[in-house]
């Protein structure tokens, strides 16, 4: 009964077919991928216990587990292939996920070791494991923890959240919306990098800020980490796609240059207490390192941060 690796499959939360690496261990197929780093493992979290997700065949039947596992692998591959980063710590740390956490929990989280996904209440969210950008957002919190380790409150916390959204949108690459797959009751998404102020989940919500002058300065949400993240999200969107924003013209340089600029800024220049002004300088320096001081990329970064009022 030695463990051996297999290619398995299953259907995710929304019925999409997923193929993924798993293992045959002790007479059952399990969601243990031993091919990436020190492993990618997905558990069913019941009664505060990690239970292996098992199957008697190569077809797994738990949709949330199938999505969490496959999405973890896709996000591992993104950081390895795009930045040559080996997992959250660049040392192959095991990517551990828990699904069915809590009771209809409308949340997802990274706690330093585990990515956790609630099943949602079917009113606000469908099972959150169903969103590739959700998994990428959560794993990115791990990458952030092992690089700049941005303090999770006020402006450094908004940058923390913004990097998680930026890489979420880069992994789930077909749009600039976060959470578009998992919203219930007709909401378009959770946050838009393209037009933060336009995408509100319901009528009670304040529009997300798309300019520094509109930043939230209260104490809710750790000083608005999921709110003011939209200011930097908009800047990153403009660096990539360009556009006119509050009268400022930005010529974009595309997703490939943008992801390299932000990863280098995060891993080489930002520190735990960095604020938005430092974010602007870090992105300019990263773009200079990568593409030269007179490059279109440096110009795009300067114009993008001008456009959102960060100097």
Ligand X SMILES: CCC(=O)Oc1c(C)cccc1C(=O)O
For the annotated catalytic residues, the residue numbers are 138, 226
CA distance 164 to 280: 17
DSSP single-letter state for residue 292: -
CA distance 202 to 124: 10
Region from 11-19, 131-139, 149-157, 235-243 binding ligand X, contact rule CB under 6 A:
131-139
Q: In angstroms, what is the minimal distance from the CB of 16 to ligand X? A: 18
Q: In angstroms, what is the minimal distance from the CB of 78 to ligand X? A: 15
Contact with Zn ion (CB under 5 A) among 70, 132, 164, 236: 164
Write the binding mask 145 to 164 for ligand X: x where contact by CB under 6 A, - elsewhere: ----------------x---
Nearest Cα to Cα of residue 75 among 112, 24, 115, 22: 115
Q: Closest CB to ligand X among 179 and 252?
A: 179
Region from 47-55, 102-110, 149-157, 256-264 binding ligand X, contact rule CB under 6 A:
102-110
Residue 196 is a binding residue for ligand X (CB under 6 A): no
Look at residue 107 and give the partner it binds from Zn ion, ligand X, none, a contact being a CB closer than 5 to 8 Å depending on partner kind: ligand X
Q: In angstroms, what is the minimal distance from the CB of 55 to ligand X? A: 28
Q: In angstroms, what is the minimal distance from the CB of 108 to ligand X? A: 4
Q: The tokens 């059952």 sit on which residue?
A: 28
CA distance 157 to 221: 10
Residue 169 is a binding residue for Zn ion (CB under 5 A): no
Residue 109 is a binding residue for ligand X (CB under 6 A): yes
What is the DSSP secondary-structure string of 204-244?
TSPPPPSSGGG---SSHHHHHTTTTHHHHHHHHHHHHH-EE
Residue 107 is a binding residue for ligand X (CB under 6 A): yes
Nearest Cα to Cα of residue 34 among 79, 88, 92, 82: 92
Nearest Cα to Cα of residue 61 among 14, 99, 9, 100: 9
Q: Measured at CB, which residue is nearest to Zn ion?
A: 164
Q: Closest CB to Zn ion among 164 and 190?
A: 164
Residue 98 is a binding residue for ligand X (CB under 6 A): no
Residues 6+ apart with CB under 8 A from 103: none
List residues near Zn ion by CB under 5 A.
164
């Amino acid at each position: 009964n030695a463990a051996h690796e297999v290619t398995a499959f299953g259907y995710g939360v929304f019925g999409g077919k997923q193929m993924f690496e798993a293992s045959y261990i002790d007479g059952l197929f399990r969601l243990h991928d031993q091919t990436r780093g020190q492993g990618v493992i997905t558990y069913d979290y019941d009664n505060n216990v990690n239970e292996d997700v098992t199957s008697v065949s190569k077809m797994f039947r738990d949709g949330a587990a199938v999505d969490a596992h496959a999405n973890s692998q896709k996000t591992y591959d993104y950081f390895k292939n795009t930045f040559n980063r080996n997992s959250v710590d660049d040392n192959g740390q095991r990517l551990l996920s828990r699904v069915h956490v809590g009771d209809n929990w409308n949340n997802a989280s990274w706690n330093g070791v585990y990515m956790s996904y609630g099943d949602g209440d079917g009113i606000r969210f469908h099972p959150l494991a169903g969103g590739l950008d959700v998994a990428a957002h959560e794993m990115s919190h791990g990458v952030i923890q092992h690089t700049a380790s941005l303090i999770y409150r006020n402006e450094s916390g908004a940058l923390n959240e913004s990097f998680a959204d930026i890489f979420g949108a880069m992994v789930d690459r077909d749009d600039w919306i976060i959470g578009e797959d998992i919203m219930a009751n007709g909401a378009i998404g959770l946050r838009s990098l393209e037009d933060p102020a336009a995408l509100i989940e319901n009528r009670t919500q304040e529009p997300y800020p798309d300019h520094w002058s509109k930043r939230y300065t209260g104490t809710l949400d750790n000083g608005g980490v999921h709110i003011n993240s939209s200011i930097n999200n908009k800047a990153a969107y403009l660096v990539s796609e360009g556009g006119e924003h509050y009268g400022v013209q930005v010529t974009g340089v595309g997703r490939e240059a943008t992801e390299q600029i932000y990863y280098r800024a995060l891993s080489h220049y930002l520190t735990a207490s960095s604020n938005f002004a430092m974010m602007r300088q870090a992105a300019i320096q990263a773009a200079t390192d990568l593409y030269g001081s007179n490059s279109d990329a440096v110009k795009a970064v300067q114009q993008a941060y001008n456009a959102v009022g960060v100097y």
